[in-house]
Amino acid sequence: MAIRSFDPPPRMLMGPGPSAVPSRVLQAMARPCIGHLDPAFVTMMDEVGELLRGAFRTANRLTMAVSAPGSAGMETCLVNLIEPGDVAIIARNGVFGGRMAEIVRRAGGTAVVVDDPWGRAVDPDKVRAALREHPEAKLVAFVHAETSTGAQSDAATLCALAREHGALAVVDAVTSLGGVPVLVDEWGVDAIYSGSQKCLSCTPGLSPISLSERAVAAIAARKQPVQSWFLDLQLVMGYWGGGAKRSYHHTAPIHALYGLHEALVMLHEEGLEAAWARHRLHHAALRAGLEAMGLTMLVPEAERLPQLNAVRVPEGVDEAAVRQLLLRDHGLEIGAGLGELAGKVWRIGLMGHSCDTRHVLGCLAALEGAIATQRAPAATAGAATAGAGVAAARASYAAHAAAS
């Protein structure tokens, strides 16, 4: 078989990420390559830092994009702050808290894991109890937006708790940045990381991070160098923070950064508040449609993320078959459940450029048809009226338009 150029099939991306990438971002990524120490590129990197400060709502000097995906941002924050023997309190209410605990252990630290049920927010009382039991804890880390379940935790309260107990607050904002408020300075976050491919609507592969002066001081006071050379922020800072005197650390992913720059310019043009409101609007329509189809949401309303909707798979429906049908017949990607939720939920993303009326209505119509093919004839008798999902979503949009 002759291998030819790869031409990806057309897709509607409504999984847990990546989300749709706007053509403006793709066009930016098709521009000519220049050197990564070229003064024009250095200026563009400085602008990326400035735009990220805006997106994170912070004045933190150390704000930049790690040249690797969200997991590398997670690892960068944790391996720079944790030294062998340190204790970290890690909240785990889904897949990604568990990953943080694993990184802490591999860095020679002790992870005190505070568990909450999957599908629920982190319980601040449990974190408070762990901080009282471990006054030596150097940091508290939690996932603001748990992509594996769709639960949103109370970041302001959790960061305040860490601070009261003299611990640093580390926040996973991979799925939250750009979709819901992420207020780094107001909350007193010490280290935060995100991903380019979710609500920022860029291609995957970059991880925006931001660290407070407290976190920078903790890194400067380390007794041992960071075990990872590539992720050692003392070295990376010479590159991102060096301005005109930038020294070589690694070759920046030049086109990925063109893309992130454009995606952040687009977010800036839309306005953060407008982007948050857009995510709420389309989530409300999607939820109304899903519920009209007889489906139920996993996460209680007060803890629900607008950009990641975990929906219970109805009894007797083969969840994988539905996803395959959606992909084959509609080019529509939605996510499967992870870990203990595998086979039990679908995860429908409404992130960034995938968060609009076209995606909501297209998904509801396609999902209704796909579920109908899977239901046992007996169950079809009790199923919602055909078209109920789309009609309910339209009614949600109309109610919003009438109120505004």
Ligand X SMILES: Cc1ncc(COP(=O)(O)O)c(C=O)c1O
In the bound state with ligand X, the residue whose beta carbon lies nearer, of 70 and 109, is 70
CB 152, CB 180: distance < 8 Å: yes
Instruction: Decide: is 71 part of the binding site for ligand X (CB under 6 A).
Output: yes
Instruction: Decide: is 70 part of the binding site for ligand X (CB under 6 A).
Output: yes
In the bound state with ligand X, the residue whose beta carbon lies nearer, of 178 and 195, is 195
Could you give the CA distance from residue 85 to residue 111 in angstroms, rounded to a whole number? Answer: 10
CB of 17 to ligand X, least distance (A): 5
Instruction: Decide: is 292 part of the binding site for ligand X (CB under 6 A).
Output: no
CB of 94 to ligand X, least distance (A): 8
Pick one of 96, 118, 142, 276: the residue that binds ligand X (CB under 6 A): 96
Could you give the CA distance from residue 284 to residue 143 in angstroms, rounded to a whole number? Answer: 23
> How many CA atoms are closer than 13 Å to the CA of 261, on its beta-carbon side?
18
Instruction: Decide: is 286 part of the binding site for ligand X (CB under 6 A).
Output: no
Pick one of 79, 143, 266, 313: the residue that binds ligand X (CB under 6 A): 143
CB of 175 to ligand X, least distance (A): 5
Could you give the CA distance from residue 272 to residue 19 in angstroms, rounded to a whole number? Answer: 18
* CB neighbours of residue 273 within 10 Å: 9
Instruction: Decide: is 69 part of the binding site for ligand X (CB under 6 A).
Output: yes
Instruction: Decide: is 374 part of the binding site for ligand X (CB under 6 A).
Output: no
SS3 332: strand
Torsion of the alpha carbons at 232, 78, 149 and 92, rounded to the nearest 10: 160
Pick one of 174, 191, 370, 393: the residue that binds ligand X (CB under 6 A): 174
CB of 75 to ligand X, least distance (A): 9
Could you give the CA distance from residue 75 to residue 229 in angstroms, rounded to a whole number? Answer: 12
Give me the 187-216 binding string for ligand X, x by CB under 6 A, dash otherwise: --------x--------x------------
Q: Binding to ligand X (CB under 6 A): which residues in 3-32?
A: 16-17
CB 374, CB 322: distance < 8 Å: yes
Backbone φ and ψ for 82, nearest 5 degrees, come out as: -100, 130
Could you give the CA distance from residue 102 to residue 381 in angstroms, rounded to a whole number? Answer: 48
Could you give the CA distance from residue 94 to residue 121 in angstroms, rounded to a whole number? Answer: 10
Give the CA distances from residue 331 to residues 39, 319, 328, 378, in Å, rounded to whole numbers and listed in that order: 42, 17, 6, 29
In the bound state with ligand X, the residue whose beta carbon lies nearer, of 58 and 196, is 196
The DSSP symbol for 383 reads S
With CB under 6 A as the rule, give the number of residues binding ligand X.
14
| Part in contact with ligand X (CB under 6 A); list of ranges 38-46, 69-77, 184-192, 335-343 | 69-77
Q: Closest residue (Cβ) to ligand X?
A: 70
In the bound state with ligand X, the residue whose beta carbon lies nearer, of 198 and 394, is 198
> Applying CB under 6 A, which residues contact ligand X?
16-17, 69-71, 74, 96, 143, 147, 172, 174-175, 195, 204
